[in-house]
Chains A and B, each alone.
Chain A
């Protein structure tokens, strides 16, 4: 029990460090934040004047949820990339902490950061869309439950993606980007998965983002209750429960490999 408390306190080190870095790179953060707003706006504006308020919201939900989930997935991997670039990874790996503590700390930061950035973008949307967005029918509780449960799967994917920068910071970032793009393609972020070629549709069935998007849209557009989304929630929970331990295992194996072949050092 004491060990769990100690490790939880230690995991705060990663949250504090990442928020400190965020403060120091504030201009970059403003840039990323502006990008998220512009991205959601440009996608939503495609339908303004062409489709109904429902169709505008359909696209905006896609942009926002994808923004949040991709932060979940990227942040864990980016934390490793950053440590590789700075050369601090050796010191983090030398510290007397369990790897799970290290990664859980990074995941907590990803959740907080994702909520903060997506929340801000969401708050700004009504100023641009005005009457083109109607949120009066939204079931926020259902949406929150879906997003929380979905986060588990994306953290699991992030943990697996984090081995790429662990083995090579340059190629690793690109590899994480490829996974992200594949999920973007198959998960029905801006369209229904039925429009995908038949051979791609089975892949969309195993992407957690597919179920997140379906249920979030049902919650915001159709006031869907939690009970009505239990099927998707169950699937998301199962995928999350499978992906998180798998992510830790993959990372553990990647770390062992990096220590065997000497991939942790930056120079010297």
Chain B
């Protein structure tokens, strides 16, 4: 039995995907046909033996390059993928065997603000709120409050989503997640691709939530400054594995500085992964 005080406990979770092997050589037509039927598979370890614990009121950051396994881990926690091995508990409940109970206390913001693009923000949010048993008038009122705090122009709430900028859509996505007052909030690159103003609005809002609620927040990001500013603890993920975990100070202290200058989180990342982190436009 997992301790419910660990808002989130991930133990030895692995997720593998099977992908059709691709060849770089130019193939003749008959070879392509043979390959189609042979369909050799390769195994991708998207998440490889990951363990973590996040306490109530903590923000846990996961820092990694594109394709490092961040979003797969978030999908495993959010019951959208089934782990091959290991276990995930949210407030003591297993995400596979008690999926419905877990889903009641959790919500997620993903890098893609997925909505019915021809519906308005209000229509999308009311639909999402109804799925959590929240009546439409309450959903509308709460959504307005959240969106105003995020700097979203309330007059545009009845506009079709496809007419809103990416930053505005992302703010609606955050409102969708917070409408349900989740105890576990999964933020999967919520600020990627946002303009600096929207990015600041969203970051300030995440800080506010931390102060106001005792929620458990998991934040995946590309952004070193964001991770440093918001997270109590950070894990660095590479090729599906956690290669370091600790507070910003601990991670920096364990990395030898070059030229005598104090190391930054970026130095730590490069030293550990050998990669330069790239932010998607």
Contact = CB atoms under 8 A, between A and B. Distances in A.
Interface stretch (A9-17, A206-214, A224-232): A9-17
A256 B80 CA distance: 9
Interface in B93-137: 100-101, 103-104, 106-108, 110-112, 114-119, 123, 126-128, 130-133
A96 B78 CA distance: 11
Nearest to A101: B131
A90 interface: yes
B75 interface: yes
B132 A20 contact: no
Contact of A21 (B101, B103, B104, B119): B119
A267 B72 CA distance: 11
* Contact size range, A: 20 to 34
Contact of B82 (A24, A90, A256): A256
A20 B119 contact: yes
A92 B131 contact: yes
B107 A268 contact: no
Contacts of B104: 96
A95 interface: yes
Contact of A13 (B75, B116, B127): B127
A10 B112 contact: no
Contacts of B108: 91, 94
* Contact size range, B: 35 or more
Contacts of B82: 256, 259-260
B106 A94 contact: yes
A86 interface: yes
Contact of A267 (B80, B112, B130, B188): B112
Contacts of B128: 91, 95
Contacts of B126: 16
Interface string A226-268: 0000000000000000000000000000001001111011111
A259 B80 contact: yes
Q: What is the interface of chain A mostly: helix, strand, loop, or mixed?
A: helix
Contacts of A124: none
B111 A268 contact: yes
A199 interface: no
Contact of B118 (A16, A21, A90): A21
Contacts of B101: 96
Contacts of B72: 262
B110 A90 contact: yes
Given A13-B127, A259-B80, A87 B17 contact: no
B260 to A, nearest CB: 40
A259 B79 CA distance: 8
A94 B127 contact: no
A90 B80 contact: yes
B107 A94 contact: yes
B130 A16 contact: yes
A102 to B, nearest CB: 9
Contacts of B118: 21, 24-25
A83 B33 CA distance: 33
B171 to A, nearest CB: 16
A98 interface: yes
Contacts of A82: 116
Given A20-B119, A87-B112, A88-B116, A13 B80 contact: no
B89 interface: no
A12 B130 contact: yes
B77 to A, nearest CB: 10
A128 interface: no
B160 interface: yes
A87 B114 contact: yes
Interface of A: 6, 9-10, 12-13, 16-17, 20-21, 24-25, 82, 86-88, 90-98, 256, 259-262, 264-268
A-B residue pairs, 8 tightest by C-beta? A87-B114, A13-B130, A95-B131, A96-B104, A24-B118, A96-B103, A17-B127, A259-B82
Interface of B: 15, 17-18, 46, 71-72, 75, 78-82, 100-101, 103-104, 106-108, 110-112, 114-119, 123, 126-128, 130-133, 160, 176, 188
Given A21-B118, A24-B160, A95-B103, 7 more contacts: A20-B127, A93-B79, A94-B79, A98-B100, A266-B112, A266-B114, A268-B111
17 contacts: A6-B133, A12-B130, A86-B115, A86-B116, A86-B117, A87-B112, A88-B116, A90-B110, A91-B114, A91-B176, A93-B79, A94-B108, A95-B103, A96-B132, A261-B18, A266-B114, A268-B71
